[in-house]
Structure 1
């Protein structure tokens, strides 16, 4: 009898461990004052760093310089809400991205640090 080895490609496993709400409010800047100061005084740099930590292209937020509505900030908020299972609407994401841009980036950074979902790889099985 011979056994056959089946190898399955590793797949990321993500689970929501928290509630379906943001872990902090859009104006909860006092939870991390140095981070909020960085975002306020140099939001493009802070946005690039946060985007890189989220696993996207470092320079992606710089594309917002050419548009009226900050599409990258809005896209990151929508993506983060979907990844973490947070309730919300695209309209609210658009309002936060447009009128509270640096606060929005701070909120996303806090959420990433709070959730810190690890990727679990699936191993090969003998059959």
Structure 2
């Protein structure tokens, strides 16, 4: 198998594509063996709009996050979940996990990973769990600022942001006209 540049490029893929529609690697199957080759032209991974330690760009949110991180987490979670969970519910669950287990960073790092997947953000400066474990407030502030720079008014919540942007929230069913009546 191809392992060194001096060995030359990998042989051309034969067979038929297996998956690959969601990005990542494209798999080809030929003769019972499945081989992975990196897909050229993947969408580039975007950089965060602010750094992890740029907390003082928004001093108000920085203070709120340091004093009561469940508020900031709730606001972030509502936007990332696209309104399927409310700010209050997410914040209360975060506070409960924090009080009972002291492992709230594990819970919030899943939302960071979900946010990165939604917006194509880099996993920087290190893995999501490490960022939240080492500096939970800075991570929450960075996520808050990122959503704010993407046009969300974090105090409004998902549904009000969708109304403000003139879009119907994704969680609401389409308006149905009544059928025929007698």
Same fold (TM over 0.5): yes
Q: CA deviation at 1:62?
A: 3.0
- 2:80 paired with 1:47: no
Change (3 A) 1:38 1:67: closer
- 2:144 paired with 1:109: yes
Q: CA deviation at 1:28?
A: 0.3
Matches of residues 40-119 of structure 1 in structure 2 within 5 Å? 40-54=66-80, 55=82, 57=85, 58-59=89-90, 60-65=93-98, 66=101, 68=103, 70-88=105-123, 92-116=127-151
Q: Which runs of 5+ in 1 are unaligned?
A: 1-18, 122-127
After TM superposition, the score normalised by the length of structure 1 is 0.67
* Separation in 2, partners of 1:62, 1:69: 8
After TM superposition, the score normalised by the length of structure 2 is 0.48
RMSD over equivalenced CA pairs, Å: 2.8
Report the structure, 1 or 2, having the larger helix content: 1
Q: Counterpart of 1:14?
A: none
Q: Which runs of 4+ in 1 moved over 4 A?
A: 117-121
Count residues in correspondence. Answer: 103
Q: Which runs of 5+ in 2 are unaligned?
A: 1-44, 153-161, 169-182
Report the structure, 1 or 2, having the larger strand content: 2
* Separation in 1, partners of 2:121, 2:72: 22
Classify the secondary structure of the residue corresponding to 1:70.
helix
